[in-house]
Amino acid sequence: MLSSMGHRDDRESDVRRLLDELCVKLGFCLPPEERRRLRESPPGGVDGFTDAIFEAEGMSGGEHPDLRRQVREVVERHIG
């Protein structure tokens, strides 16, 4: 039981670092409730997480392909 808790804590920590980097480097500074939602229940896969970031910002990644690629690279580095 302890190891599964540790894994969840590690995952939340990874997501926290990912979201911090997106805010500092790319200006994707999500509201606290969105940050919490993504930490507690992260979407599956790199593309799913990338899409969730854009949705949380009220944007479409399809309208911003270069920006989506940059966000995806950060996501992949942290959870890929």
Mean pLDDT by 10 residues, the chain (80 residues): 51 91 96 94 94 93 92 92
Residue 63 is given by DSSP the state G
Model pLDDT, residue 37: 95
User: Global pTM?
Assistant: 0.83
Residues 6+ apart with CB under 8 A from 23: 29, 30
Model pLDDT, residue 54: 95
Model pLDDT, residue 8: 63
Cα–Cα distance list, 42 to 35, 62, 66, 79 (Å): 10, 21, 23, 10
Model pLDDT, residue 76: 96
Cα–Cα distance list, 14 to 34, 44, 48, 59, 65 (Å): 16, 14, 16, 23, 25
